[in-house]
Amino acid sequence: MGTSKTEFWPKIEFWYEFASTYSYLAAERIQSLAQSNGMDIAWRPFLLGPIFKSQGWDTSPFGIYKAKGNYMWRDIERSADLYGLPFKKSDQVFPQNSILAARIALCLPDADQRGEFSKSAYRAEFSEGQNIAEPQVIAQILNNLGHDSDQLFQQAKSPDIKQALFANTAEAQEKGIFGAPSLITGDGELFWGDDRLEQALNWPKTSP
Amino acid sequence: MGTSKTEFWPKIEFWYEFASTYSYLAAERIQSLAQSNGMDIAWRPFLLGPIFKSQGWDTSPFGIYKAKGNYMWRDIERSADLYGLPFKKSDQVFPQNSILAARIALCLPDADQRGEFSKSAYRAEFSEGQNIAEPQVIAQILNNLGHDSDQLFQQAKSPDIKQALFANTAEAQEKGIFGAPSLITGDGELFWGDDRLEQALNWPKTSP
């Protein structure tokens, strides 16, 4: 009160799936939006596979529903163009197996490091035609970022990290998440989709 | 060329389903956006039911996938709020049976009349808690707009109108439409969702 400036929550949860095209767009855009509002990002990788399975789908809905899938690729292309982000539909399988990338991300607790790794993986996948299921692709990304890829690969196999990814996915589903990217504000508002990024980040903190 | 002003297609196809919440938002917003770009709107009502059926769904995905359905109602509420549009989730069944409304819309070939009727039906459905499957609800709307509801109800039962709705739905599916609202530009670009309205209406006409 006493000022007309909107107050924001100090932190927002960014829930993302490494195989998701729209998560790529959002991962590239979220940091500058969060920074403008003085907001920290909790990077929360999770797996959509188990959530889709619980809805009776054995793969991405973009694979199951052809018209929706065709549309998605064109929509991503147009949106990437509008945002000035590189995008190339590759010949790789879609959706890519994202378990390794998600586990590696969880080995990097520092938000900046996790964010940088995540964006690099998305770029490899969606603008460089690479397959992030391949360990050498992930190793290259880690080495480029100055990490010790051998050590992180070891850690990624540990029960703790496997359990952390399982727990993230369970928490996502408990919180009502059914797609990626999703965002959750300080007061629990759920937003779904790259096209809700602005709404989520501009969601005002209500006065206590 | 010779000017930096963007040229737009003279007309855009607006494909909408009377039972669709997001079509309501788009129907309320499209006219002022189209007007700013000197664009006419082709109001194209169609039925999502047969398209969903061909995807193996016997109702709206918002009914089949609970988390998605819960999210949709909250998302609509927030978006209506941002747009300054009235919205009230009613106790009526969802999705409502939209066949009568769609047939009546097709009895009104004039774009302004069809648009006004469509918006009135959406408001009855999504801000006044009424059921547009009920003939008296539609009759009231038509009478308020100065139409002869008896005459239009007769016409709505004619084979021509039934066939026109069937043909619209078939055309929508042929054009790759899988949800509502959808928009198609003069050069055949398909956009899906109220949140793509601006992108669709600002899609530039390429120089001939």
> Nearest residue of A to residue B75 by CA position?
A191
In the structure, what pLDDT confidence band is assigned to residue A65 with cuts at 50, 70 and 90?
Answer: confident
In the structure, what pLDDT confidence band is assigned to residue A61 with cuts at 50, 70 and 90?
Answer: confident
Average pLDDT of every residue of chain B: 94
Nearest to A156, CA basis, from A178, A139, A172, A143:
A139
**Residue A90: other Cβ atoms inside 10 A:** 15
Angle between helices B99-106 and B111-126 (to 10 degrees): 160
Per-residue pLDDT, averaged over A97-115, amounts to 98
Q: What's the token pair of residue B71?
A: 């999210």
Predicted local distance difference test score (pLDDT) of residue B56: 83
Model confidence pLDDT, tens digit, residues B171-197: 999 999 999 999 999 999 999 999 999
Residues β-bridged to residue A41: A12
Model confidence pLDDT, tens digit, residues A126-144: 999 999 999 999 999 999 9
CA gap A65, B122 in Å, rounded = 28
Q: Please give the single-letter amino acid code of residue B34.
A: A
In the structure, what pLDDT confidence band is assigned to residue B207 with cuts at 50, 70 and 90?
Answer: low
Predicted local distance difference test score (pLDDT) of residue A176: 95
In the structure, what pLDDT confidence band is assigned to residue A35 with cuts at 50, 70 and 90?
Answer: very high
Q: Which residues of A touch B196 (CB under 8 A)?
A: 75, 195
User: Taking CB atoms and an 8 Å limit, are B82 and A199 in contact across chains?
Assistant: yes
Model confidence pLDDT, tens digit, residues B66-80: 999 999 999 999 999
Which strands sit side by side in the sheet containing A11-16, from one edge to the other?
A40-45, A11-16, A182-184, A190-192
Q: Which residues of A touch B55 (CB under 8 A)?
A: 65
Q: Which residues of B touch A75 (CB under 8 A)?
A: 191-192, 196
Per-residue pLDDT, averaged over A135-160, amounts to 98
Nearest to A88, CA basis, from A29, A130, A128:
A128
Predicted local distance difference test score (pLDDT) of residue A207: 63
Q: Which residues of B touch A193 (CB under 8 A)?
A: 195
Interface test with B, best of A81, A192, A194 (most B CBs within 10 A): A192
Q: For this complex, say whether ipTM is above 0.90.
A: yes
* B111 interfacial to chain A (CB closer than 8 Å): no
HSE value, Cβ hemisphere, 13 Å, CA-based, for B170 = 6
Q: Please, what sign has the CA dihedral across residues B94, B99, B104, B110? A: positive
Model confidence pLDDT, tens digit, residues B2-58: 556 789 999 999 999 999 999 999 999 999 999 999 999 999 999 999 998 888 888
**pLDDT of A97 above 80:** yes
Weakest mean pLDDT among A96-105, A119-128, B58-67, B124-133: B58-67
Percent of chain B predicted with pLDDT > 70: 97
Q: Could you tell me the CA-to-CA distances from B23 to A140, B84, B86, B149 in Å, in that order?
A: 46, 16, 14, 24
Q: What is the DSSP string of B48-59?
A: SHHHHHHTT-SS
HSE value, Cβ hemisphere, 13 Å, CA-based, for B63 = 13
User: Taking CB atoms and an 8 Å limit, are B67 and A196 in contact across chains?
Assistant: no
Nearest 5°: the CA angle A82, A85, A89 is 100
Q: Please give the single-letter amino acid code of residue B205.
A: K
Predicted local distance difference test score (pLDDT) of residue A172: 97
Per-residue pLDDT, averaged over A169-182, amounts to 97
CA gap B58, A105 in Å, rounded = 40
In the structure, what pLDDT confidence band is assigned to residue B63 with cuts at 50, 70 and 90?
Answer: confident
**pLDDT of A2 above 60:** no
Per-residue pLDDT, averaged over A72-95, amounts to 94
**pLDDT of B84 above 70:** yes
Q: Please give the single-letter amino acid code of residue A121.
A: A
Cβ burial, residue B188 (10 Å; 0-12/13-18/19+): exposed
**pLDDT of B153 above 60:** yes
Q: Report the CATH fold assignment for A11-201.
A: Glutaredoxin (3.40.30)
Q: What is the DSSP string of A59-90?
A: S-HHHHSHHHHHHHHHHHHHHHHHHT------
Percent of chain A predicted with pLDDT > 90: 87
Q: Please give the single-letter amino acid code of residue B20.
A: S
Q: Name the residue with tokens 């879609």.
A: A94
The more confident residue out of B172 and B59 is B172
Per-residue pLDDT, averaged over A176-192, amounts to 97
Interface test with B, best of A75, A81, A83, A184 (most B CBs within 10 A): A75
Q: What's the token pair of residue B70?
A: 């819960």
Is B69:B57 a contact under the CB 8 Å cutoff?
no
Predicted local distance difference test score (pLDDT) of residue A4: 64
Average pLDDT of every residue of chain A: 94
Predicted local distance difference test score (pLDDT) of residue B88: 94
